[in-house]
Structure 1
Amino acid sequence: MRPAESAVRDAFLRACELDVETQKPGNVSVDSAGHGMTAAQFIASAQAAAGALFVPGARVGTRILDAMTRTLEVAGCNTNLGIVLLVAPLAAALDDLAPPMNGREWRDATERVLARLTLDDARAAYRAIALANPGGLGDASEQSVHAEPSVDLRAAMALAADRDSIARQYANGFRDVFETGLSAVANAPADTPKEITLDVFLSFLGGWPDSHIVRKQGVTVAQSVTGEAKRHRARWRATAAHAARQDATQQLLAWDAGLKARGINPGTSADLTVATLFVAGCLDPARTGVAATRGCDWHGS
């Protein structure tokens, strides 16, 4: 018996809403469009993708390809490939679980899903990536998405794990989501879902160079942004008083404008944030606002 489909779907949609409700530096939000995209496109994409991601019994590759096909139909561009690649195995793992459950059980189930990935999953995921046409993603000397795959999807992702944080989740069993991400949710010095979202995002962005920035602007720029994220997060976390928090927030907004002016988009950190919020929203809906916003009544401990 899997967790209620409506509950996990609500958790996913809430995570995608928080992604754009929160003004995360360099990312598109309801208050700050950027990179030729708007928040409305991201919300439409989430609603379209959800119909494919949470089909009981569907293969991971099928979920990915169908979700991207539906996304492109409503958004006209790639708004959520990274999110889809991350959420598809997590959603498939829920088919083997029953409530109540905990993060350890979900992580173990995800590992089993990854171990079962096939060549057909790779073919479908390759088609999805090619359809999305993200600059630089999938270009490789070995197992390029522009050629027919000869290995299963997990093996293909493992070949890119050292240069792409999303591929690394397939290789390491989503360690960054279940460890770095959920730890940030639990320990965020904040009470509101948007503040938690910001802290999780800065945790990822300040943890290692963002893959999307590396592909677009190179390692040096990505490392510089990582250093800035560490400093901004430390300053923001240290501000308990209202006036100090307001000053730190203004600095983050100025940084957001500066990143967008330079065309820098920490997209992979945002994707990892959404995946983390999805998991956290299922395990502890009150913490991320799923219960209050959508009436989600399923959770684990």
Structure 2
Amino acid sequence: MSEGLSDDAIAKTYIESCLAELDALKPGNVHRYADDPRHVVSDFEKSAEVSAPFVADSELGVGERIKRAAEATADACGTNTNLGIILLTAPLAAAAQRSSKKDLQHRVAKILMKLDRSDAQAAYAGIRAANAGGLGEVPEHDVAEEASTSLLEAMSAAQSRDRIAWNYTHDFADIFEIGLPALVDAMERWSDPNWALAAVYMTFLAAEPDSLIARKHGMEKASEVREEAAELTEKFLASSEPEKFTSEMLCSDRSLKKRGLNPGTTADLTVATLFADRLQRLESAQ
């Protein structure tokens, strides 16, 4: 039976994953290639640092990790930079700390199945601290009130309008079945981690309407963004020289930002994919 990863190793991997995602060109989202009128890169760097100890704290349940990491981010940045990242990485971190012969996705599934009402209460507090919606759009599980059910049941009720909630009820399928294969394929072909991560982001963006855009601007607008991304992604992924698409992707970036459309859920899934990949690599090296 293999040993679980240490808190320190997971915190380091979490920070590295969050920072690496900022180095990838992600049209419409925050990255180092271009300014974003809505967000500052340094806020995302700071939020990664302050939330890492709580995401990685093996003494805490998943809900409590979410709560404390979100509160630390709110205190440090005063804005919601990473709630989606925290929601996705907390179960992954907990799974990686388990000693098991099972693969990481199997362990994540076990973690998700055991989420209870106390996890929901803590997670709701974290969502309130981040001043973010999602679960609260479902009347029977309003995050402004005390949790009346388990966190997994609350996620199930929200899954039709929130892709992160959908992943909670589908054993993080997007990460393990879409994100990780895209990352591995891009790294094998290009050997460039920044462009490989951009490939993951574009693959997600082309696969499903971004649920943050859908919540803020409607499903029609989210579907429009997905269709735009699908056309660009097909050409981008087929290229042997991804850097040749820098100009076209920056054009898409400007267009999305001008329209106020931020594929935030897509970016959250991208960070979680890299985090999962690096956790698996650490486990393999033990």
TM-score by length of 1: 0.89
Residue in structure 2 matched with residue 42 of structure 1 by the alignment: 44
Q: Once superposed, which parts of structure 1, at least 4 consecutive aligned residues long, lie more than 6 Å away?
A: none
Q: What displacement does 1:249 show?
A: 1.9
Tell me the matched-pair count: 281
Q: What displacement does 1:153 show?
A: 0.2
Contact 1:30 1:38 in 2 (8 A): no
- 1:264 matches 2:261: yes
Q: Distance in 2 between matches of 1:235 and 1:137?
A: 36
- 1:273 matches 2:270: yes
Unaligned runs of 5+ residues in structure 2 are none
Moved more, 78-87 or 21-30: 21-30
Q: What displacement does 1:232 show?
A: 1.0
- 1:112 matches 2:110: yes
Q: Find 1:69's aligned residue among 58, 68, 71.
A: 71
Q: Distance in 2 between matches of 1:149 and 1:67?
A: 19
Q: What displacement does 1:156 show?
A: 0.4
Residue in structure 2 matched with residue 23 of structure 1 by the alignment: 25
CA deviation map 1:162-217 (0-9, x unaligned): 21110011111111111111111111142111011100001111101000000111
Q: Distance in 1 between matches of 2:279 and 2:138?
A: 35
CA deviation map 1:215-248 (0-9, x unaligned): 11111110011111111111112222x5xx4442
The 5 Å alignment of 1:1-301 reads 1-97=3-99, 105-135=103-133, 138-188=136-186, 189-240=189-240, 242=241, 245-284=242-281, 298-300=282-284
CA deviation map 1:68-109 (0-9, x unaligned): 1111111110000000001111111122136xx6xx611111
Counterpart of 1:180, as a letter, is I
Q: Distance in 2 between matches of 1:21 and 1:143?
A: 36
Aligned to 2:249, what secondary structure does the other structure show? helix
Q: Distance in 1 between matches of 2:159 and 2:105?
A: 18
The alpha-carbon distance between structure 1 residues 64 and 74, as it changes in their structure 2 partners (threshold 3 A), is same
Contact 1:30 1:39 in 2 (8 A): yes
TM-score by length of 2: 0.93
Q: RMSD of the alignment, in Å?
A: 1.6
The alpha-carbon distance between structure 1 residues 143 and 277, as it changes in their structure 2 partners (threshold 3 A), is same
Q: What displacement does 1:8 show?
A: 2.3
Q: Distance in 2 between matches of 1:106 and 1:248?
A: 34
Unaligned runs of 5+ residues in structure 1 are 285-297
CA deviation map 1:270-301 (0-9, x unaligned): 000000000111223xxxxxxxxxxxxx3428
Counterpart of 2:279, as a letter, is C
Q: Distance in 2 between matches of 1:192 and 1:271?
A: 20
Q: What displacement does 1:57 show?
A: 3.0
The alpha-carbon distance between structure 1 residues 246 and 63, as it changes in their structure 2 partners (threshold 3 A), is closer
Q: Percent identity between the aligned chains?
A: 37
CA deviation map 1:26-82 (0-9, x unaligned): 011123232521111001001111010111131011100000111111111000000
Counterpart of 2:47, as a letter, is S
Counterpart of 2:250, as a letter, is L
Counterpart of 2:157, as a letter, is L
Residue in structure 2 matched with residue 290 of structure 1 by the alignment: none
